[in-house]
Amino acid sequence: MGNDSDDITKHWDGTLIPGRDGLMMEFSPMTKLIVDGFKASAVSADIRGKGDGRLDMGLIVAKRGADAAGVFTTNTMAAAPVRICRDRIGDEKVAAILVNSGNANSMTGQAGEQDALHLCSALADRLMAQETAVLPCSTGVIGERLPVERMEEALDSLIAGLSEGGLENFTRSIMTTDTVPKTSKSEAKLELGTATVVGIAKGSGMIAPNMATMLAFILTDAVVDVEWLRNILNDCVKDTFNTISVDGDMSTNDTVLLLASGSGPPVRTWQDNGAISEAIHQVCRELAAMIIGDGEGARKVVNVKVSGAWEVEDARKIARTVADSLLVKTAMAGEDPNWGRIAAAIGRSGVEINPEDISLQIGEVKILEKGEIVEGYDEKRATDVMKRQQYDIRITMGDDDCEATVTTCDLTEEYVRINAGYRS
């Protein structure tokens, strides 16, 4: 797919990464990953028992407690840590997030829940915090018990290692099949000062060969009403993480947490709320784009944009059906403007449509106009668009106002290789 000039940049120091609207966005270098009111650290607890020294446990502590909001997988097989987080996220302040990679603590029944509760309690003791103020997150192999003893032993060095700059190591400790750490930073100008928003995420396949999950942690120093936090996060996730699709699978562990330490300026007005909300959106958008760009085996990022729908839900359904179609995704990999596959996916989306209302374009090349092939349509030009690392597929359903975008990646032989590989 060699096109070096606009290769998806996978470095993480002050480089450019592709944004959702085809723009390149500046990517915050790790050195700036500091948010007032939070410390973090990471250690190797040898969770896979391989003795390879890999960072696999991470800790974020809100020194004076943080207001928190969370969004979790809707998978009914939700893992133990997700069930615990869901219960705990409420009106109480959060003292810490304890994360591990290498083991998802999923499908481990009551015993797995006890394991997570035990670790949270052991950490809370050491931090002199409320037991219920610790949120656990896990990502990794499904169906195995956590090595609780080794993990408990690691708690002291995790706490000893806490520092304001510790988020960098934390970020590395949650990586599984990710090829790059994913972080983003933004600022919000509030009436009484500037608030910082930092985001950290992991995820490439929804469930990678050994591992599971998308995890994202958004931290801000702003003082925000907890009800506002919840609304901002819900909107944000709907517009960002929920609009990406690597393989249509949804893990048992997906978790997005938003914490506000309250060490910075307050969000007091609607303008302030708008500013902090926009900053959080931007961070989530950037993280979502990074997850797609790092999709297992992916070489291209494609925005499927559907407009002209009667209801947003219709637009979303069509965008998702096209974005998840194996045949569309393999055509992307083959740089083949086989638009019949797109039309077929639209047709089976379950949305009532009139084929004669459908317009379709790939990049700037119009293919269908109101159900008819555009005169002079030149397949060669569509192929040229598909050779790019990033482009849009635009589908217009009619003259109505609703629209939706789902961002996806191509399906390559590499994806199959990664996911068909034996767990080792």
Question: Interface with a second copy by CB under 8 A: which residues?
Answer: 74-78, 104, 106-107, 109, 141-143, 205-207, 209, 212, 247-252, 325-327, 330-331, 333-336, 338-341, 343-348, 351-353, 355-356, 358, 368, 371-373, 411-413, 415-417, 419-423
Residue 66 near residue 262 (C-beta atoms within 8 A): yes
- Return the number of the residue (137 or 154) whose C-beta is nearest a second copy: 137
**Which one-letter DSSP state was computed for residue 232?**
H
* Distance of closest approach, residue 418 Cβ to a second copy, in angstroms: 8
CA dist 383 → 178, 296, 336, 369 (Å): 30, 23, 6, 19
- Return the number of the residue (32 or 83) whose C-beta is nearest a second copy: 83
Helix, strand, or coil (residue 388): coil
* Distance of closest approach, residue 159 Cβ to a second copy, in angstroms: 31
* Distance of closest approach, residue 370 Cβ to a second copy, in angstroms: 9
- Return the number of the residue (20 or 394) whose C-beta is nearest a second copy: 394
Distance between CA atoms of 178 and 180, rounded to whole angstroms? 5
Angle made by CA atoms 352, 318, 294, in degrees to the nearest 5: 170
Burial class from Cβ neighbours inside 10 Å (0-12, 13-18, 19+) for residue 56 reads buried
Residues 6+ apart with CB under 8 A from 392: 22, 302, 303, 304, 305, 362, 363
* Distance of closest approach, residue 209 Cβ to a second copy, in angstroms: 7
* Distance of closest approach, residue 408 Cβ to a second copy, in angstroms: 12
* Distance of closest approach, residue 188 Cβ to a second copy, in angstroms: 34
Angle made by CA atoms 340, 341, 342, in degrees to the nearest 5: 90
The residue annotated as part of the active site, out of 171, 183, 213, 252, is 213
- Return the number of the residue (161 or 334) whose C-beta is nearest a second copy: 334
- Return the number of the residue (160 or 373) whose C-beta is nearest a second copy: 373
Amino acid at 156: D
Angle between helices 312-324 and 339-347 (to 10 degrees): 130
Half-sphere exposure of 365 (CA within 13 A, CB side): 17
Residue 213 in tokens? 């999950």
DSSP 313-366: HHHHHHHHHHHH-HHHHHHHHTT---HHHHHHHHHTSS----GGG-EEEETTEE
* Distance of closest approach, residue 326 Cβ to a second copy, in angstroms: 4
DSSP 78-94: --HHHHHHHHH-SSSPE
- Return the number of the residue (77 or 192) whose C-beta is nearest a second copy: 77
- Return the number of the residue (343 or 402) whose C-beta is nearest a second copy: 343
Question: Could you confirm whether 9 is annotated as catalytic?
Answer: no
Active site residues: 213
